[in-house]
Amino acid sequence: MANTINQAKERILTKWNWENPDLSYPVILWGGPGIGKTELVISLVCERMINDLENKYAEDLKAINSQGLETDLGKELDEHRAKLTKEFEAKLKLLQFDYPSHDLLKLIEPHCLVLRLAERPIEQLQGVVVPSLSEKENFARFVMPENLVKLKNSSWGIVFLDELDKASEAKFGAATHILENRVVGDMQLGRDWYVIAAANREEDSFLSNPIPPELRNRCANIEIEADLDTWIKWAIPHGVRKDIIGFHKFKNGEWLHRADLEQSYSFCSPRSWTNASRVIDSIERRTNPNPNDPKQMDNFQTSVRNELIDFVGKQAQTEYFAYRDLYLKFNFKEILDGTKRIPVRENCSDEQSLISDQCIATFAIADQVTPEHLGKKDPSGPGFIINDKAMSNLAQFVRDLVPEIRTLYLQMIHRTRIMNLLLDSGLAEDLMEEIVQYLAA
């Protein structure tokens, strides 16, 4: 059974024993490209670094406070405390990362070594054999690469063997030694170092080599797949474009991870959609197109089409723009001011078209309408003054939805201020009673 990224992280943490490293067990992560295996490993390192950082910060503060009780250095200790807190917060912010920035990778470098087996010569996994230079001794030893020798300076960390399925038979032997014994050549990794490997499944890559069963048997094997809910929870705070998130919600994750390697060089993965979103944002910031200028908007949309083809392929780009064209049909301002209503059964003979249009409208309204569109903050107190016209039209929009789509909309705005305002307004009491009866049926 495949796991989401978050589930895989929890399962790794049960096998990486921070208190008793001798009871830690290596892991092989199995999954398609671009679903976040490398970022998962980075997040594990960051989590432990945050734990260490918080403990160290608490100890240092305690020491400063104790010193303050014993000496008369109030101002100097306040400055020291402020400096300590500033450094702590800066590192903490970096470790709670949005994406693996250069600064983050530099910070975690002492605790994280990534070895991509496809591009590493065997000597970087087991060292170079050299004879002893002593006349009295007759033996050979391994001289280790500099990046591995650096591991001796850190008390703990993760060695990440990426692209295990791309390794040759000779590298499989070295990888087995690292995974099972935490030994690289002649060098024994520290007791608190942990080893994780990652591999694509054979169906995910033309270049995958079968991994020997004796290697797999020495590890816990965790399969990961792209999961829509997990990705959306990650994508929203990480700034992925709302229209891209809305597209995946509407398509129920159908295009989140789809690799047709025989048809296209580019293919869909959480990584490729995220990269496309960031590049499109960069283009939008640089060109700053005027929404009221058709030529500027047309040029921007052409750029969006090109970027999507580059990152996720032609098919996904076509599906995305088909969704987006429908999405733009429903102007939330026209719905809230009552000048436009969505299609309903009474004026639509095609049930499939009705459901499709209402689904799109639901995602568009749930995504775009904010409390500020439904009223304003009460200047004389903590309350909220509802715009009766806008709220009444929002309630009418919900009434127009067929019961199945209505339930979907309410699920989407559940636990938001929109839901609370709708209930508090008193304009939807009959609607709520109808919904309860529908759900109870």
- Domain borders along the chain are 5-223, 228-440
Average pLDDT, the chain: 84
- Residue 432 pLDDT: 65
- Residue 163 pLDDT: 85
- Residue 278 pLDDT: 94
For the ranges 18-32, 44-58, 190-204, 391-405, the lowest mean pLDDT is seen at: 190-204
Indicate if the alpha-carbon torsion angle 222, 225, 228, 232 is positive or negative: positive
Q: Is the pLDDT of residue 41 over 90?
A: yes
**Cβ proximity of 38 and 198 under 8 Å:** yes
Q: Number of C-alpha atoms within 13 angstroms, CB side, residue 33?
A: 19
Higher pLDDT, 240 or 172: 240
As a whole number, mean pLDDT of residues 310-332 equals 88
Higher pLDDT, 324 or 437: 324
Band of pLDDT at residue 27, cut at 50, 70 and 90:
very high
CB atoms near residue 291 (< 10 Å): 8
Q: Is 127 left (phi over 0), alpha (psi -120 to 50) or beta?
A: left
Band of pLDDT at residue 378, cut at 50, 70 and 90:
confident
Higher pLDDT, 105 or 190: 105
Q: Is the pLDDT of residue 440 over 80?
A: no
CATH class of 5-223: alpha beta
DSSP letter at 195 equals E
Band of pLDDT at residue 68, cut at 50, 70 and 90:
low
Band of pLDDT at residue 212, cut at 50, 70 and 90:
confident
- Percent of the chain scored above 90 by pLDDT? 29
CA separation for the pair 339, 335 (Å, rounded): 6
Higher pLDDT, 201 or 244: 244
- In the chain, the amino acid numbered 363 is F
- Residue 307 pLDDT: 93
Q: Number of C-alpha atoms within 13 angstroms, CB side, residue 61?
A: 13
What are the residues whose beta carbons fall under 8 Å from the beta carbon of 333, sequence distance 6 or more?
373
**Cβ proximity of 279 and 266 under 8 Å:** no
As a whole number, mean pLDDT of residues 380-402 equals 87
Higher pLDDT, 411 or 147: 411
Tokens encoding 237: 């705070």
For the ranges 104-108, 112-116, 158-162, 283-287, the lowest mean pLDDT is seen at: 112-116
Q: What is the 3-state secondary structure (H, E, C) of 28-39?
A: EEECCCCCCHHH
Tokens encoding 262: 């025989």
- Residue 70 pLDDT: 54
State how beta strands 384-386 and 220-223 pair: unpaired
- Residue 173 pLDDT: 77
CB atoms near residue 286 (< 10 Å): 9
Element at 153 (helix H, strand E):
none
Higher pLDDT, 311 or 378: 311
- Residue 46 pLDDT: 95
CA separation for the pair 126, 143 (Å, rounded): 9
CA separation for the pair 374, 391 (Å, rounded): 6
Q: Is the pLDDT of residue 280 over 70?
A: yes
Q: Is the pLDDT of residue 435 over 70?
A: no
